[in-house]
Amino acid sequence: MTPKEETVQIDFRGFLHRRSLTLAVGIAALFVVAGCSKKAAPPPPPPPITSNAPAPTATITATPSVINAGGSVILSWRTTDASDVSIDGIGAVPSAGTRTVQPTESTNYHLVAKGSGGSTDATARVTVNAPPTAPVSNLTETDVTDSMFHQNVKDVFFDYDSYDIRSDAQSTISSDANFLNQHPTLKVVIGGYCDERGSTEYNLALGENRANAAKQGLVTAGVSPDRLRTVSYGKEKQFCTEHDENCWQLNRRAQFSIDK
């Protein structure tokens, strides 16, 4: 091999070596660039925060739910699992309790109960009747016949083993009070009656409670308590003698009569 050929061969080998080195560096650079451009996967989102606290419950009632202007109402409410309880128009209240109110117009008492488990609400409506427009009469008990009295003053009825004034009896008591307020000299006896079931002693006590509940309803509607007298007949005086629910319902009542 001549010196020239040897030189050419050396140069060619050097070229191949440089070419291989360049190619290796390029490939390594590609891997570096690819590695740098690849972002790390983001961590998974945290699981949603859930509360095991029970949802609040709430009830509110108004007794009576129908009154005449100037009458009073007892609000009763109860909540569970609530840390913040309020009633519109009243403000913050305890989780359970009662409050006497005197609305001047028909009102919805809206209760909101909030707790760590959420919130809930309840509403009790009170209807306020306008004052009677009929002129006040000065008729005495001798001027008002029994027939006239019972046409205008209706009895109220009760559920079994209960002396709570039912919602359907509220309007009856309101109407009764309107008539009595128009005849301020009339005095009334309220008789409490029961059906035939239960002992004599138990029904005498239940009849007394029913008469007193009816009296309180009239007083709330504006009738003076001095005009009202109560008596319990228990199960001794039956309006109906059949042995079925229809008959028993007729016997569970508070009856209003002129107190002569």
Same domain membership, residue 163 and residue 97: no
In a domain, 82, yes or no: yes
Contact 240, 252 (CB under 8 A): no
Write out the two tokens for 188.
């009334």
**Per-residue confidence at 237, pLDDT binned at 50, 70, 90?**
confident
In a domain, 104, yes or no: yes
Write out the two tokens for 18.
């440089």
d(CA 67, CA 72): 7
H/E stretch holding 79: strand 73-80
d(CA 120, CA 59): 10
- In this predicted model, what pLDDT tens digit does every residue of 216-232 receive, in sequence order? 999 999 999 999 999 99
More confident call, 130 vs 93: 93
d(CA 23, CA 21): 5
Same domain membership, residue 234 and residue 171: yes
d(CA 77, CA 94): 9
Instruction: Record the pTM.
Output: 0.48
Looking at the DSSP assignment, which residues form a beta bridge with residue 85? 113
Q: What are phi and psi of 118, to 5 degrees?
A: 130, -155
Where would I find the H helices in the chain? 3-37, 146-152, 167-182, 200-220, 245-251
Q: Which amino acid is it at 11? A: D
Q: Which of 103, 129, 155 is the last residue of a domain?
A: 129
For the residues 58-74, what does the mean pLDDT come to? 87
Predicted pLDDT of residue 48: 62
Same domain membership, residue 71 and residue 115: yes
Which domain CATH number covers 91? 2.60.40.10
Q: What are phi and psi of 40, to 5 degrees?
A: -70, 140
In a domain, 79, yes or no: yes
pLDDT above 90 covers a percentage of the chain that reads 45
Which domain CATH number covers 228? 3.30.1330.60
d(CA 184, CA 239): 29
Same domain membership, residue 120 and residue 179: no
Contact 195, 253 (CB under 8 A): no
Domain count, the chain: 2
d(CA 237, CA 203): 11
| Secondary structure class of 221 (helix, strand, coil) | coil
Q: How high is the mean pLDDT of the chain? A: 82
Q: Could you tell me how many residues make up the chain?
A: 260
Same domain membership, residue 116 and residue 71: yes
- Characterize the bridge pairing of strands 253-258 and 118-129: unpaired
In a domain, 29, yes or no: no
Question: Domain residues for 117?
Answer: 57-129
Residue whose structure tokens are 């080998």? 13
Predicted pLDDT of residue 227: 92
Q: What angle do CA 117, 121, 124 make, to 5 degrees?
A: 155
Write out the two tokens for 196.
């035939």
Predicted pLDDT of residue 8: 46
Same domain membership, residue 152 and residue 109: no
Same domain membership, residue 80 and residue 177: no
Same domain membership, residue 158 and residue 108: no
Residue whose structure tokens are 């709430």? 58
How many C-beta atoms surround the C-beta of residue 113 within 10 A? 27
In a domain, 101, yes or no: yes
- In this predicted model, what pLDDT tens digit does every residue of 27-63 receive, in sequence order? 555 555 555 555 566 777 776 655 688 999 999 999 8
